Structure 1
Amino acid sequence: MSAADHLRFSGAAAETQRGALEAIIRAQPVLMDVLEGLRSLALPDHLLVAGAIYNEVWNYLTSRPALTGVNDIDVFYFDASDTGWDAEDRVIKALDQRFAGLPVPVQVRNQARVHLWFEQKFGSPFSPLTSSAEMLGRYASKTHAVGARLDDDGRMAIVAPFGLDDLFSFRMVPNPVLDNRVSHTAKGLRAKTIWPELTLIPWPE
């Protein structure tokens, strides 16, 4: 493997990158277990998102062990019919039971509730979301904005509002839609300690 082989999908056509991402996900048993479990639980508008996907892409392309850098598996769903904590807690407990045997925990959150707690936790206002996919567009880093879901027919839906080239190019690119400079920088610096191949693009001034 050449020094730049990890960049073999950088600059490739969008469909090629989507095919590569799907192949990487399907080759990872833990991710497929989560995707199949979410489909069986029929959570509304659910997505497997973020680190469990992009970290595994970087692990695969740099020949690192599976789940390197993956501390948990993030799952979104969107249910505006009940935005109370009790309803979300029931989903959390159901997923805890379903995925109890996995090597890392699954963390699930109802994206229809984010605006209810975001400002108190992070100090900046947050307008209500209309879907799980919309939350990906508000991530601190565009590179992290990727989600996947298994449809009933077994096909895999990939959600990537900013495309996949930054992911496959090992570029962490800021997304200044919210004041997330601290998060983008901190996550980038932490990621570079695991994947030094990454390039961290600074937050715009």
Structure 2
Amino acid sequence: MQNDLDWSDGTLADPYRASEDDRKAALRSLIRHSPVLFDILTALRDLALPDAWLVSGGLYQNLWNHLTGRPFGYGIKDYDVIYFDGTDLSYEREDAVIRKVQQRLSHVEAEIEVRNQARVHLWYKQRFGVDYAPLTCALESLCSYASRTHSVAARLGRNDEIEIVAPFGLTALFALRIVPNYVVPNRKTYEEKGARMLALWPELTIEPWNETAG
């Protein structure tokens, strides 16, 4: 159906008028029209990091920029890269990967944040105050983001095909709606991030955190 960048009719924001395949095709088009996004995906593929994906803000914030008529890169402080290497959980190994990716993408104006999802459980509680179970793959992390809307990932295959993963779907993302995720009790993170996003994109709707649902 709709796979170019003309989304002005709002079809993609309506779960009854467009499918997830339509929304994924649209996001792929955005990535292909965005040199920075495509370059990041190309770098991750060429560096052959295990189970590596571009996730979250660099994708959804640039999508919002397109939907609201703002320039590419507006409001983006970093691009989040995740990978999964369970063979070495040392900080030293992760730091070496971080430096390798950042060197390859040194021309990107925003910071490139790289995290080995195999070792998140080692530092998560100290930072966020709640336990975090060890993961078995990089994409498992998407299910514990504070907002379901932000749970989106992309990577580039050998034939330049773009794979999109969004465990909660993309409807809310195209509808400019931030929705809570109650898998992890991180209301504080959700509300702080929602307020920060709303200041940058006032067109957003922030669904309130419901304690009875958490």
1:58 to 35, 60, 64: 64
Please tell me whether residue 31 in structure 1 is matched to residue 37 in structure 2: yes
1:86 to 89, 92, 108: 92
2:153 to 147, 155, 170: 147
1:109 to 115, 119, 132: 115
Counterparts of 2:128 and 2:199 in 1: how far apart (Å)? 25
Deviations 1:17-72 (A, max 9, x none): 11011101111111111100110000000000010000000001111011011101
Q: What is residue 135 of structure 1 aligned with on the other side?
A: 141
The count of corresponding residues between Structure 1 and Structure 2 is 202
Counterparts of 1:68 and 1:139 in 2: how far apart (Å)? 22
Q: What is residue 42 of structure 1 aligned with on the other side?
A: 48
Task: Structure 1 unaligned segments of length 5 or more: list them.
Answer: none
Per the TM alignment, residue 196 of structure 1 is displaced from its structure 2 partner at its CA by 1.2
The runs of at least 4 aligned residues of structure 1 exceeding 3 Å deviation read 4-8
Amino acid at match of 2:205: T
1:5 match: secondary structure: coil
Per the TM alignment, residue 6 of structure 1 is displaced from its structure 2 partner at its CA by 7.4
Alignment of 1:92-103 (within 5 A): 92-103=98-109
Q: What is residue 5 of structure 1 aligned with on the other side?
A: 8
Amino acid at match of 2:19: A
Counterparts of 1:197 and 1:6 in 2: how far apart (Å)? 16
1:59 match: secondary structure: helix
Per the TM alignment, residue 7 of structure 1 is displaced from its structure 2 partner at its CA by 3.4
TM-score normalised by the chain length of structure 2:
0.92
2:12 match: secondary structure: coil
Distance 1:81 1:6, change over 3 A: farther
Q: CA RMSD in A?
A: 1.2
- Aligned residues of 1:52 and 1:72 also touching (Cα < 8 A): yes
Percent sequence identity over matched residues?
A: 47
Counterparts of 1:57 and 1:161 in 2: how far apart (Å)? 18
